[in-house]
Structure 1
Amino acid sequence: MSPGTTKSQQWQWENAVAGSAAGFATVAVMHPLDVVRTRFQVNDGRVSHLPSYRNTAHAVFTIARSEGLRGLYAGFLPGVLGSTISWGLYFFFYDKAKQRYALNREEKLSPGLHLVSAAEAGGLVCLCTNPVWLVKTRLQLQTPLHQTRPYSGLYDAVRTIMKEEGFSALYRGIVPGLFLQVSHGAIQFTAYEELRNVLVDLKNKRSKIHHQNPDKLLNSVDYAVLGATSKIAAILITYPFQVIRARLQQRPSGGVQRYTDSWHVLRETARFEGVRGFYKGITANLLKNAPASSITFIVYENVLKLLKLTRKND
């Protein structure tokens, strides 16, 4: 440990590094399903520049055939940046919040404080990363049917958006994004922490040596199950916010936004598509995020173990 660096500060940075590594691994493996999900989310049956897909498998096959690998990995760079930054900041803010709430507390944090910590982290992350997610969404929606000059990449997208729509356009979808980040992260991390505690207690009872370090009790399979289970719970509850955000973040057609605000999306989707409209693309989302969350928490927990071991050996 370097002079002037406290254990608390080093622990926070270890969480950030572990979270970033987890985010990168997740996107690299699961990005094609993210493209499919986004295209399903915004396809309200009245959008001319998006092809129609029967299901997730058909969407993957059609995109691969008509657009190639480039289509399946559209928006990959902002996806990697956004996920890596988001997970890094999320784990950093989340752990920092838990430490603050745990001050002068000897017992474990309550579910309520886990919820507050996760919600706080989600809000901060959303404010930092919304422009990246907006660019990712627009790049993923570019197809051969698009009439507008396509963005050539991340830099061109940001420059064009600011030139044509102004800086505020980078924060389109921020309201449902905030609701999504706060509620989704709070539900996922609270479920993860509580299920993790239950699993640790169960393994502790079965172990001959009680009160072991949780790091020694849990393995990668445990982290995979915990990550997937907590993610599914969060997705089922918060998915409509994702649909609303994606529809708001579409590129204007002829200089006109398809939806003006969250209420407009809510009203139009309910009117023309019903409840089902708010869950478009959820199959691709579950296929992507359940295993992706498993990968995320496997990488996160194991990188964290490695960093702890390295710190002990210093």
Structure 2
Amino acid sequence: MAAPSPIIDQASGTATPKVAPHTLLQARSSAVEALEDVVYGSVAGIVGKYIEYPFDTVKVRLQSQPSHLPLRYTGPLDCFRQSIKAEGLAGLYRGISAPLAGAALENSSLFYFERLGRELVYGSGVVAKDEPLPLKALFFTGAFSGSFTSLVLTPIELVKCKIQVPSTAQGQTPTPLRPTAVIKDIYRHHGLRGFFHGGVGTLIREGGGGAAWFGSKETVSKMFHNLNAKHATTDEERASILSRPLPIWQQALAGASGGVSYNFLFFPADTIKSRMQTAPIGDSVRGKSFITEGVTLWKQHGLRGMYRGCGITCIRSAPSSAFIFIVFDGLKTYFPLQ
């Protein structure tokens, strides 16, 4: 194709290259998609966070029980009972303001970087741009997305965990903490570096979990698409079925499978991270690495300790992830910004 003719400025006589219309359209399309990822990912994340937050509070409290003391909670139901008795239902939503912002950032980052991962795969020439990505490539884009998102998420999760499980002397009632007070305390004791305490655990959880989250959702979605098109009699009918969105209940199951896979497969990394991030601020956290914390937990409680709180986490992640994908995909499909 011939290059576009330059535009001649009649006053100065200089030539300005004319930008091809398809180039402008492509740039605009990429910008619009990025905006959709940020806006719709944020909305989906906030909806999901309201659904899952009480369960997340229980999960963190179960994970962070001190190793050198008898267990305070016998299980998720006991933790719910004690928490509501001591603080009321509002106590399970303690500190939700920071996680809401975190959920908006997390999900917008996940969807944004996942799309960048797809562009990276297409740009490498491994897959033609007019072909759908194979499942192994989608697992890669999920890992790519989660790894970058962990950098955004670590400081937010650190503040969240410290609000959910405030450190107190034995027998004292915990004092509600505000995000600003926690942020100032962390910075005063550890500086900017302190906000990335537990970052290795977040990276493992988000990198591996992102691959499981997106990969499982796409795997189940593909299975449903193939099942729905199984009885198509012509190629045109099959193509029509495959191009339509899945029924809501199938979208929900696909999203739920992603949430359960994300949490179950990499839950030990999340447990170690939570224990590190709920430790009292100060000298006690210095020298504590992901490895040393993991070895200590393994010696004292074994595999069971690594998965403490996993059941309640998977239960809450199923509806949360289902809603996140339904809201995000629905907004992208029915309310495009272009």
Q: TM-score, with normalisation over the residues of structure 1?
A: 0.89
Q: Which residue identity does 1:127 align to in structure 2?
A: L
Tell whether the 8 Å contact from 2:185 to 2:281 is kept in structure 1 after alignment: no
Tell whether the 8 Å contact from 1:118 to 1:189 is kept in structure 2 after alignment: yes
Partner of 2:110: 90
Partner of 1:107: 131
Tell whether the 8 Å contact from 2:53 to 2:93 is kept in structure 1 after alignment: yes
- 1:181 deviates by 0.6
Q: Distance in 1 between matches of 2:167 and 2:189?
A: 20
**1:17 lines up with 2:42 in the alignment:** no
Tell whether the 8 Å contact from 2:67 to 2:300 is kept in structure 1 after alignment: no
Partner of 2:161: 137
**1:123 lines up with 2:147 in the alignment:** yes
**1:177 lines up with 2:202 in the alignment:** yes
Q: TM-score, with normalisation over the residues of structure 2?
A: 0.83
Q: 1:28 to 1:140 in 2, by over 3 A?
A: same
Q: Distance in 1 between matches of 2:167 and 2:200?
A: 27
Partner of 2:280: 252
- Which runs of no fewer than 5 residues in structure 2 stay unpaired? 1-23
> What does 1:141-152 correspond to in 2, within 5 Å?
141-142=165-166, 150=175, 152=177
Q: Distance in 1 between matches of 2:281 and 2:175?
A: 12
Which moved further from structure 2: 215-224 or 236-245? 215-224
- 1:151 deviates by 6.4
Query: What is the SS of the residue equivalent to 1:224?
Result: helix
Deviations 1:171-202 (A, max 9, x none): 00001111111001111211211221222122
* Alignment: residue pair count: 306
**1:262 lines up with 2:290 in the alignment:** yes
Tell whether the 8 Å contact from 1:27 to 1:83 is kept in structure 2 after alignment: yes
**1:202 lines up with 2:230 in the alignment:** no
- 1:145 deviates by 5.5
Q: 1:81 to 1:130 in 2, by over 3 A?
A: same
- 1:215 deviates by 6.2
- 1:210 deviates by 2.2
Structure of greater Rg: 2
Which moved further from structure 2: 13-22 or 288-297? 13-22
Query: What is the SS of the residue equivalent to 2:266?
Result: helix
Tell whether the 8 Å contact from 1:12 to 1:96 is kept in structure 2 after alignment: no
Partner of 2:271: 243
- 1:58 deviates by 1.9
Tell whether the 8 Å contact from 2:228 to 2:241 is kept in structure 1 after alignment: no
Partner of 1:189: 214
Q: Distance in 2 between matches of 1:273 and 1:259?
A: 21
Q: Distance in 1 between matches of 2:104 and 2:231?
A: 37
- 1:259 deviates by 7.1
- 1:254 deviates by 6.6
**1:73 lines up with 2:93 in the alignment:** yes
> What does 1:225-240 correspond to in 2, within 5 Å?
225-240=253-268
| 2:74 equivalent among 49, 54, 69 | 54
Q: 1:20 to 1:240 in 2, by over 3 A?
A: same
Deviations 1:37-74 (A, max 9, x none): 001111144258xx712221221121111012332112
**1:276 lines up with 2:298 in the alignment:** no
Q: 1:143 to 1:261 in 2, by over 3 A?
A: closer
Partner of 1:289: 317
Tell whether the 8 Å contact from 1:259 to 1:265 is kept in structure 2 after alignment: no
Q: 1:213 to 1:6 in 2, by over 3 A?
A: farther
Q: Which residue identity does 2:58 align to in structure 1?
A: V
Query: What is the SS of the residue equivalent to 2:238?
Result: coil
Percent identical among aligned pairs is 22
- 1:108 deviates by 1.9
- 1:143 deviates by 6.9
- 1:265 deviates by 1.2
Q: 1:99 to 1:31 in 2, by over 3 A?
A: same
State the Cα RMSD in Å. Answer: 2.5
Q: Distance in 2 between matches of 1:195 and 1:29?
A: 23
